[in-house]
Amino acid sequence: MNLQSLANAIFPNIDKNPKFYIDKYPKRNLKEGAKVTRYAPSPTGFQHIGGVFSALIDERIATQSEGVFFLRIEDTDQKREVEGAIEDTIKTMHKFGLDFTEGMTGDNTSKGDYGPYRQSERSEIYKTFAKDLIAKGLAYPCFCTSEDLEKLRENQISEKLTPGYYGEYASCRNLSTEEALEKINNGERYIIRLKSPGNSEKRVEFHDLIKGDISFPENNQDIVIIKSDGLPTYHFAHAIDDALMGTTTVIRGEEWLSSLPIHVQLFDVLRFEKPEYAHTPTIMKQDGGSKRKLSKRKDAESAVSYYDEEGYPMISVIEYLLNIINSTFEEWREENPFADYHEFKVSLDKMSKSGALFDIVKLNDVSKNVICRLKADVVYDYYTNWAKEYNKEMYELVTSNENMCKEVFNIDKEGPKPRKDFAKWNDVKEKIFFFFDELFKNDGIDNIELPKKVELTEAQRIIAAYSKAYNFNTDKDTWFEELKAVAVELGYATDRKAFKKDPEAYKGMVSDVAGSVRAALTHRANTPDLYTIMQIMGEEKVKTRFNEFISL
Ligand code: GLU
């Protein structure tokens, strides 16, 4: 009995050979240096921000080099699959400006000549290569049960040996073809293992595009390549898919780095040309004194949906991720405040080698800078789009006061130092609520922020006097002169030095008078320019607010 008959008994329906597939997927016709990258999620339905991080690197590296960026669905663990997850992935990536040039285009559709792009539809391909390895004596069926393996492990641990299925401990390695066939004919369950040619005493050198030069012991474990359900393991599928699909650069999370010895070996055994690898750092979060992985269970910000709900413009998230990818992005952005982020060149070798820290405070900073660069009309469009879905009340108020809102969004925008009020659309309501009587009415008296040393009754005295003197139709300088005149009349200093010299002689500073006006109109101590607010509110609203304040 020869090995070919064993291979035929295991895969009776496989009638192709590896050459068929190697010829079917020829080398891609791309320009010199073009990179082929892929985003390869499992369709579990949860869109993790780490996925956008990965896909962004893939997309940038491919697009920058005029290469190909494709979507492959890794659904060999069918227990975890969720319906609609592929479409959801594509939609999510599209929202972040990440569009695939090739690969899955929907749950049942794809484009490109290197498909199928969904692993569950590639089973015949994996089996063809596994069959060939068996026929060549490079892989074999293993009939060990989980109990057998557990026993083996316990023995190895008690003898202080490296646990695993390898060398002399790989008992099914030594089954004769007849023995193996007999077990198969008896209906025993089995998996297919690689007969590892590796020696753990020897080392393999490798260059990772992010981690740099690395070396590790050769793999000597007879790893599983085909599971008992007939589907491949990640290792086997990775080698076959990335080889046949012409991936030049495998960019994936560093959790796969420890499997690299297996992958290098598989590429050799399968006689494939190896791709380049770039293992990206895991996204971490500062938690008290220590760092930990951003967790799906504990951290709301791990879900992409969080950024939608909070209303971060997608460009803010992208720019923040670019900051994590290459810290030089920040400097580039300062030098090129209005350039499109696509003009920044992502370099894998400038990426941090260890954990990437995800920090919402920094994201907010980046996002404030992004939003402050947007024109008021654009802010209005983004905001109403968001509010339509996430804050109906604000949507109604803002769209029925479009002109006023555009003026509000334009406050201090045109100058050299534009205001940075909003990091996300969910911040807008608290920053502009006072322009709307409906919202202002509901803002309780306890929320009023008066100047530090001014009591409510004193603030009311100030407003009573100021409301009589107040002129709507004046320019900013005159307006301030008039405010100062009221301050002097009420015993407030207009000159800081004079006040400092003899504080007892005054009730306070003119800033206390302005602060009281601000409190009467907005209930807040921190607002944009008061004159501008009053101009936008209009004379009538200002006067009504003054009257209401006096009678609080
Ligand atoms: N499906 C694997 C994962 O989601 C992909 C890893 C890779 O990109 O090779 O982790």
CA 355 to centroid of ligand 1, rounded, Å: 18
296 is annotated as contributing to ligand binding: yes
pLDDT at residue number 352 = 86
pTM score: 0.92
Does the pLDDT at position 1 exceed 60?
no
CA distances in angstroms from 227 to 116, 230, 467, listed in the order given? 20, 5, 81
Average pLDDT over residues 468-496: 96
Quote the percentage of the chain above a pLDDT of 70: 99
CA 57 to centroid of ligand 1, rounded, Å: 14
In a domain, 23, yes or no: no
In a domain, 265, yes or no: no
pLDDT at residue number 45 = 82
CA 252 to centroid of ligand 1, rounded, Å: 6
CA distance 66 to 34: 6
To test the pocket of ligand 1, the residue of 234, 249, 276 to mutate (highest count of ligand atoms within 8 Å of its CB) is: 234
What's the pLDDT band for 82 if we cut at 50, 70, 90?
A: confident
**Are the C-beta atoms of 539 and 546 separated by less than 8 Å?**
no
Query: Are 154 and 7 within one domain?
Result: yes
Query: Are 321 and 416 within one domain?
Result: no
Query: Are 136 and 222 within one domain?
Result: yes
**Residue 145: domain span:** 3-15+123-233
CATH code, domain with 546: 1.10.10.350
In a domain, 42, yes or no: yes
Last residue of a domain, one of 233, 257, 275: 233
Atom of ligand 1 nearest to the CA of 39: 8
Task: Using only the alpha carbons of the chain, give its radius of gyration.
Answer: 33
Does the pLDDT at position 380 exceed 90?
yes
CA distance 283 to 49: 9
Residue nearest to atom 1 of ligand 1 (CA): 41
In DSSP terms, 104 is beta-bridged to: 110
Last residue of a domain, one of 121, 144, 178: 121
Phi, psi for 70 (deg, rounded to 5): -120, 160
**Are the C-beta atoms of 303 and 354 separated by less than 8 Å?**
no
User: What are 301-347's pLDDT values in tens digits?
Assistant: 999 999 999 999 999 999 999 999 999 999 999 999 999 999 999 99
Does the pLDDT at position 190 exceed 90?
yes
Residue nearest to atom 9 of ligand 1 (CA): 252
CA angle 255, 256, 262 (to 5 degrees): 145
Average pLDDT over residues 217-240: 97
Residue nearest to atom 10 of ligand 1 (CA): 41
Average pLDDT over residues 20-27: 97
In DSSP terms, 141 is beta-bridged to: 192
